[in-house]
């Protein structure tokens, strides 16, 4: 890949010390010119998990994850918060769909309402059948990261035990999969991410799917063969929020740096296909 201006460089979150999910060094992470990437860190939920199979519980668990803090301290603010794995600048992103805000007291009350009791304030929480409430996640990282520690700490604050398992041969079952995905920034076609037949999330979990979501995904993918129907993609967005098959932690960004700041300022970062502006 060759750039039109050799002074334009990409600078990702991990340039500031460690991986994007490891605590940063004291180096300044301020970025004047960032571009949104079609890359999302997320928790993909397991449809056959005794706990995560319930869409209401998936939304409650999402309320326990402090995504604002993860974006600020884990990714150096190089990213943005979204309510679906669709780039926020894409015309098919549905702005009327609001992401679930972090709210530990509300989430704890909702767990109680659903029968997930915590008899003692500092003790464990129990499932309706009397077993300790525990979530087991497959993690792509070879070692413990900031995002894992943050999720474990916030869930334990309401009495939920958490275990993260690393390694390609880690044995299930899992309640969810902590992973990252990159989609086509121009089309935002989610067929191979969320469709029951084609989802690439099938290993190591059984991803959440629904016939109505499958149909919307098929209709949007079909529209790409002639004229993209972004109205259908917005319906996909709404359905994803309703079913909550994944909890998106952050849409990542990259920082553009270089000597020719005038060129960088001219870059239209709101164009989903912005890469063509700097690549011959």
pLDDT beneath 50: ranges in the chain: 1-28, 263-265, 269, 278-280
Dig out the tokens for 51 from the structure: 């706990």
pLDDT in tens, 111-122: 999 999 999 988
pLDDT in tens, 203-235: 888 999 899 999 999 999 999 999 999 999 999
> What is the pLDDT at residue 203?
82
> What is the pLDDT at residue 15?
41
> What is the pLDDT at residue 25?
40
Q: Containing H/E element for 266? A: helix 261-266
Contact between 68 and 249 (Cβ < 8 Å): no
Strands 176-182 and 134-139 turn out to be parallel
Whole-model pTM over 0.85: no
> What is the pLDDT at residue 242?
96
- Which residues, in sequence order, are CB contacts of 228 under 8 Å at separation 6+? 92, 187, 220
What are φ and ψ of residue 206, in 5° steps?
A: -100, 100
DSSP-assigned beta bridge partners for residue 134: 161
Dig out the tokens for 232 from the structure: 């259908």
């Amino acid at each position: 890949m060759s750039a039109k201006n050799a002074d334009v460089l990409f600078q990702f979150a991990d340039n500031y010390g460690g991986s994007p999910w490891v605590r940063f060094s004291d180096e300044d992470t301020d970025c004047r010119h960032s571009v949104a990437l079609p890359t999302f860190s997320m928790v993909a939920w397991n449809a056959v998990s005794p706990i995560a199979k319930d869409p209401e519980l998936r939304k409650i668990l999402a309320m326990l994850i402090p995504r604002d803090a993860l974006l600020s301290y884990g990714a150096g603010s190089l990213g943005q918060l979204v309510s679906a794995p669709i780039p926020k600048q894409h015309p098919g992103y549905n702005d009327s769909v609001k992401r679930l805000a972090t709210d530990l007291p509300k989430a704890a009350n909702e767990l109680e309402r659903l029968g997930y009791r915590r008899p003692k304030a500092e003790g464990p929480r129990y499932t309706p059948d009397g077993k300790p409430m525990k979530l087991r996640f497959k993690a792509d990282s070879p070692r413990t990261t900031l995002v894992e520690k943050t999720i474990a700490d916030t869930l334990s604050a309401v009495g939920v035990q958490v275990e993260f398992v690393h390694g390609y041969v880690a044995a299930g079952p899992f309640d969810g999969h902590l992973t990252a995905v990159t989609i086509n920034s121009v089309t935002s076609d989610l067929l191979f991410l969320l469709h029951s037949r084609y989802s690439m999330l099938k290993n190591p979990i059984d991803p959440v799917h629904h016939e109505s979501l499958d149909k919307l995904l098929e209709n949007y993918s079909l529209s790409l063969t002639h004229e993209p129907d972004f109205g259908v993609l917005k319906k996909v967005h709404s359905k994803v929020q309703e079913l909550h098959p994944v909890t998106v932690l952050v849409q990542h960004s990259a920082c553009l740096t270089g000597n020719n700041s005038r060129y960088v300022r001219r870059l239209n970062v709101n164009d989903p296909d912005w890469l063509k502006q700097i690549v011959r």
